[in-house]
């Protein structure tokens, strides 16, 4: 009898070890595959994706840990293998692969909560040029539902509470004067009542939505709650349900086209006014100039034309420039501009609404530095007051302002100087010259 029992225990241990080893091998294979996908995702965007390296680093740390377990250096239970960070990281990658114009992954936003306390929020995927925030959720619907009902472990934050944090933070992080659209992407299903509550809050849901079953009959007292009371998420109402994973209510994919309230106003910085009329932008880039910076800009223009980018962005939009920008632009033009550049400037200014300088309060709060001067402050601040996107080549000011906590809505392009008057003493290049010629 004792031998039989020992044999059964040994058999069970062998089966358990085989199960753990099989799961471990599967997790290692998944980790390796996810690293390849994360690296491919970053490569698919010119210049990579902000946070892409952080994502790869997290995946590699998971793989390193799993390999230690495989080598017998770390003892681990089967349940721990099933609940590694890989599920969440896989959800992040799949979200990013399904969205367009991903600008960052695992981005940390600072915001103030409803009590005025400073908090940090990690957004798994920022896509659609910043207009879309995605939270990727890999936990099972059952666990999420139980936490919502107050049956989770102490300190667990429900998805609804996390949604409130996302809304609070997004209202403090407008993109082109619109609040980011929030998507909660569930990769292991979500209960129908939770999905409905998220939609009521203005959050989009992606993933399988499953039904819930009643555990006990709701009392008459709860059934006849007044309208005001029923708005509260009463434990008496919530705790009578459990997830029915087999009963699929809906399966929602990522929206193919997320509607964005596009900003239709454009504020032109001096650097943009100059670039727009520069001879470099109109074929005058086949020269070696005496000034090194002009030769470099000419080479950049041969490689990548700026004017089509500006025209594409400005198309159909209302153009503005403040009086200081136009006055300084005309002064520079009078001193350095050639006849063609001056003629193009006259035609451009006719298309622009010239408005009085009116810098916003938050722009005026910026502390002056080598990158933040009064002229730039006035130009960007006026764009902010107009709720316009400032088009600029002055990336130094944009970064310096952001370092002080003021993020302006901008479209940044490469600079082009006025060069027409310099062409007579420059060395011409053949028209088939590539970007590297003359450097």
DSSP secondary structure string for all residues of 40-55: HHHHTSTT--BTHHHH
More confident position, 273 or 152: 273
Q: What is the pTM of this model?
A: 0.77
Residue 362's pLDDT band (boundaries 50, 70, 90)?
A: very high
pLDDT number for residue 226: 36
Query: pLDDT category, 419, cuts 50, 70, 90?
Result: very high
Q: How many domains does the chain have?
A: 3
Q: What is the pLDDT of residue 78?
A: 65
Percent of the chain with pLDDT over 90: 69
Q: Which of 280, 364, 375 is nearest to 321 (CA)?
A: 375
Together in a domain, 353 and 385 = yes
Residue 231 sits at the vertex; the CA angle it makes with 225 and 232, to the nearest 5 degrees, is 90
Whether 217 shows a pLDDT value over 80: the answer reads no
Using alpha carbons, list the distances in angstroms from residue 68 to 28, 76, 367, 415.
11, 10, 51, 51
Res. 3: pLDDT tops 90: no
pLDDT level of residue 257 (50, 70, 90 thresholds):
low
Q: Which residue pairs from 285-290 have beta carbons closer than 8 angstroms and sit at least 24 positions apart in sequence?
A: 286/428, 286/429, 286/430, 286/431, 286/433, 287/419, 287/422, 287/423, 287/426, 287/427, 287/428, 287/429, 287/438, 288/426, 288/427, 288/429, 288/438, 289/419, 289/422, 289/426, 290/422, 290/425, 290/426
Q: Does 72 share its domain with 115?
A: no
**How far is residue 163's CA from residue 166's CA, in Å, rounded to a whole number?**
5
- Asked if 198 and 160 touch (Cβ cutoff 8 Å), the reply is yes
Note the pLDDT tens digit of each residue in 297-325: 999 999 999 999 999 999 999 999 999 99
Element (H, E) at 287: strand 287-288
Distance, CA of 395 to CA of 392 (rounded, Å): 7
**Rg of the chain over all Cα atoms, to the nearest angstrom:** 29
What's the pLDDT at 17?
58
Q: What is the pLDDT of residue 72?
A: 81
Mean pLDDT of 193-203: 95
On whether residue 232 sits in a domain, the answer given is no
Give the residue, 61 or 433, on which the prediction is more confident: 61
- Taking a C-beta distance cutoff of 8 angstroms, is the pair 208, 189 a contact? yes
- Co-location of 297 and 416 in the same domain: yes
Q: Look at residue 353 and give its three-state secondary structure.
A: strand
> Same domain for 281 and 311?
yes
CA angle 322, 327, 330 (to 5 degrees): 125
pLDDT at position 219 over 80: no
116: in domain:
yes
What is the mean pLDDT of the segment spanning 278-293? Answer: 96
Asked if residue 191 and residue 180 are part of one domain, the reply reads yes
Copy the structure tokens of residue 171: 């209202």
Has residue 435 been placed in a domain? Answer: no
Pairing of strands 118-127, 104-112: antiparallel
Average pLDDT over residues 383-406: 95
CA 189 to each of CA 97, 184, 251: distance values in angstroms, whole numbers, following the listed order: 19, 11, 9
Q: Is 86's pLDDT higher than 70? A: yes
Q: Give the closest residue to 27 by CA, choosing from 88, 87, 94, 74.
A: 87
pLDDT category, 229, cuts 50, 70, 90?
very low
Q: Is residue 439 part of a domain?
A: no
pLDDT of residue 84: 67
Do 406 and 271 lie in one domain? The reply is yes
Mean pLDDT, the chain, as a whole number? 87
Average pLDDT estimate for 228-253: 63
Which residue did the predictor score with more confidence, 399 or 245? Answer: 399
Lowest mean pLDDT among 11-25, 110-124, 374-388: 11-25
Q: What is the pLDDT of residues 288-297, one digit of tens each?
A: 999 999 999 9
Supply the pLDDT for residue 215: 63
Rounded Cα–Cα distance for residues 195 and 377 (Å): 45
Relative to beta strand 204-214, strand 181-186 is: parallel
The reported pLDDT for the residue numbered 258 is 63
Given 83, 115, 141, which residue is the final one in a domain?
A: 83
Do residues 257 and 269 both lie within one domain? Answer: no
CATH number at residue 94: 3.40.1350
Residues 41 and 110 in one domain: no
Q: How confident is the model at residue 230 (pLDDT cuts 50, 70, 90)?
A: very low
CATH number, position 330: 3.40.50.1010
**DSSP strand pairing (118-127 vs 190-191):** unpaired
Final residue belonging to a domain, choices 54, 83, 112: 83
Angle of helix 323-336 versus helix 339-351 axis, rounded to 10: 170
Confidence of residue 235 (pLDDT cuts 50, 70, 90): very low
Q: What values do phi and psi take at 323, rounded to 5?
A: -60, -40
CA 99 vs CA 37, 109, 208, 374, 426: distances in Å:
14, 20, 18, 40, 47
Average pLDDT, stretch 51-72? 92
Q: Does 288 lie in the same domain as 419?
A: yes
222 part of a folded domain:
no
For residue 114, the enclosing domain spans 86-216+238-261
The pLDDT of residue 203 is 95
pLDDT digit string (tens) for 320-340?
999 999 999 999 999 999 999
| Residue 259 contacts residue 128 (beta carbons within 8 Å) | no
Does pLDDT of 346 surpass 70?
Answer: yes
Q: Residues 273, 205: one domain? A: no
Same domain, 328 and 421: yes
Please check the confidence at residue 81 and state whether its pLDDT lies above 60.
yes
Q: Per the domain annotation, does 78 fall within a domain?
A: yes
> Which one of 261, 294, 314 terminates a domain?
261
Are 141 and 74 within one domain? no
Report which secondary-structure segment, H or E, holds 122: strand 118-127
Neighbour count for residue 174 (Cβ, 10 Å): 15
- Of 96-105, 188-197, 216-225, 339-348, the one with minimum mean pLDDT is 216-225
């Amino acid at each position: 009898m004792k031998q039989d029992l020992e044999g059964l225990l040994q058999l069970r241990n062998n089966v358990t070890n085989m199960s753990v080893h099989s799961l471990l091998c599967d997790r290692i294979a998944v980790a390796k595959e996810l690293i390849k996908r994360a690296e491919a995702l970053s490569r698919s965007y010119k210049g990579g994706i902000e946070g892409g390296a952080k994502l790869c680093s997290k995946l590699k740390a998971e793989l390193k840990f799993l390999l230690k377990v495989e080598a017998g250096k770390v003892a681990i239970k089967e349940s721990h293998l099933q609940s590694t960070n890989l599920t969440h990281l896989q959800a992040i990658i799949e979200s990013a692969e399904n969205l367009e114009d991903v600008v960052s992954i695992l981005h940390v936003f600072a915001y103030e909560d409803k009590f005025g306390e400073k908090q940090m929020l990690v957004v798994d995927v920022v896509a659609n040029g910043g207009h879309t925030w995605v939270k990727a959720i890999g936990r099972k619907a059952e666990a999420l539902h139980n936490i919502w009902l107050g049956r989770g472990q102490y300190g667990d934050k429900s998805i609804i509470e996390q949604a409130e944090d996302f809304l609070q933070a997004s209202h403090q992080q407008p993109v082109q004067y619109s609040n980011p659209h929030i998507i909660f992407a569930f990769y292991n299903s979500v209960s129908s009542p939770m999905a409905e509550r998220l939609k009521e809050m203005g959050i989009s849901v992606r993933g399988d939505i499953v039904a819930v079953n009643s555990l006990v009959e709701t009392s008459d007292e709860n059934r006849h709650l007044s309208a005001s009371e029923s708005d509260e998420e009463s434990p008496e109402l919530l705790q009578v349900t459990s997830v029915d994973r087999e009963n699929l209510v809906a399966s929602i994919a990522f929206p193919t086209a997320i509607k964005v309230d596009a900003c239709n106003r454009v504020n032109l910085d001096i650097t943009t006014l100059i670039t727009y009329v520069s001879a470099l932008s109109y074929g005058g880039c086949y020269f070696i100039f005496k000034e090194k910076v002009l030769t470099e800009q000419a080479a950049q223009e041969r490689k990548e034309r700026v004017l089509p980018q500006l025209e594409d962005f400005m198309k159909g939009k209302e153009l503005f420039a403040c009086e200081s920008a136009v006055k300084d632009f005309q002064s520079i033009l009078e001193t350095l501009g050639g006849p063609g550049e001056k003629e193009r400037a006259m035609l451009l200014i006719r298309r622009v609404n010239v408005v009085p300088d009116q810098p916003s309060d938050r722009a005026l709060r910026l502390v002056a530095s080598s990158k933040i001067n009064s002229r730039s402050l006035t130009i960007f601040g006026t764009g902010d007051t107009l709720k316009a996107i400032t088009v600029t080549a002055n990336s130094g000011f944009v970064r310096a302002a952001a370092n002080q906590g003021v993020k302006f809505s901008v479209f940044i392009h490469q600079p082009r100087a006025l060069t027409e008057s310099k062409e007579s003493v420059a060395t011409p290049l053949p028209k088939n010259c590539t970007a590297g010629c003359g450097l």
